[in-house]
Amino acid sequence: MRFAKIGLPVSLVLMVASLVLLFTVGLNEGIDFKGGTVIEVQSKAPTADLADIRSKVDSLGLGAVEVQGFGTPNDVLLRVSAQSGAEGAQEQAVQKIRSVLGADQYTFRRVEVVGPRVSGELAYSGTMSVVLTIVGIMAYIWIRFEWQFALGAVASLVHDVILTIGFFAVSRVEFNLTSIAAILTIVGYSLNDTVVVFDRVREVLRRYKSLSISEVIDQSTNQTLARTILTSVTTLIALLALFFFGGEVIRSFTAAMIFGVLIGTYSSIFIASPTLIFFHVRPKPDKPATDKQASAKPKTGVPA
Q: What is the distance between the alpha carbons of residues 165 and 171, in angstroms, rounded to a whole number?
A: 10
pLDDT in tens, 216-238: 888 888 888 888 889 889 999 99
Q: What is the distance between the alpha carbons of residues 12 and 5, in angstroms, rounded to a whole number?
A: 11
The CATH number given to 4-27+119-278 is 1.20.1640.10
Query: What's the mean pLDDT in 170-175?
Result: 85
Supply the pLDDT for residue 18: 92
Q: 117 pLDDT exceeds 70?
A: no
- Residue with the larger pLDDT of the pair 283 and 97: 97
Query: Where residue 118 falls among pLDDT bands split at 50, 70, 90?
Result: low
Q: 16 pLDDT exceeds 90?
A: yes
Q: 263 pLDDT exceeds 80?
A: yes
Query: What's the mean pLDDT in 287-291?
Result: 47
Q: 295 pLDDT exceeds 50?
A: no
Cα–Cα distances in angstroms (integers) from residue 286 to residues 142, 206, 289, 304, in the given order: 19, 10, 9, 34
Backbone angles phi, psi at 135, to 5 degrees: -65, -45
Q: 3 pLDDT exceeds 60?
A: yes
Q: 298 pLDDT exceeds 50?
A: no
Supply the pLDDT for residue 97: 85
- Residue with the larger pLDDT of the pair 279 and 282: 279
Comparing 77-91, 130-144, 214-228, 240-254, which segment has the lowest mean pLDDT?
Answer: 77-91
Query: Where residue 296 falls among pLDDT bands split at 50, 70, 90?
Result: very low
Query: What's the mean pLDDT in 286-294?
Result: 46
Query: What's the mean pLDDT in 166-186?
Result: 85
**In contact, 46 and 73? CB cutoff 8 Å:** yes
Comparing 125-129, 218-222, 294-298, which segment has the lowest mean pLDDT?
Answer: 294-298
Helix 147-171 vs helix 251-270: crossing angle, to nearest 10: 140
Q: 170 pLDDT exceeds 80?
A: yes
pLDDT in tens, 178-203: 888 888 888 888 888 888 888 888 88
Q: Where are the domains of the chain?
A: 4-27+119-278, 36-114
Average pLDDT, the chain: 79
Residue 216 makes CB contacts below 8 A (sequence gap 6+) with 201, 204, 205, 208
Query: What's the mean pLDDT in 147-163?
Result: 85
pLDDT in tens, 80-115: 877 776 657 777 888 888 888 877 788 888 887 776
Domain 36-114, what fold?
Alpha-Beta Plaits (3.30.70)
- Residue with the larger pLDDT of the pair 294 and 271: 271
CA 68 to chain centre: 26
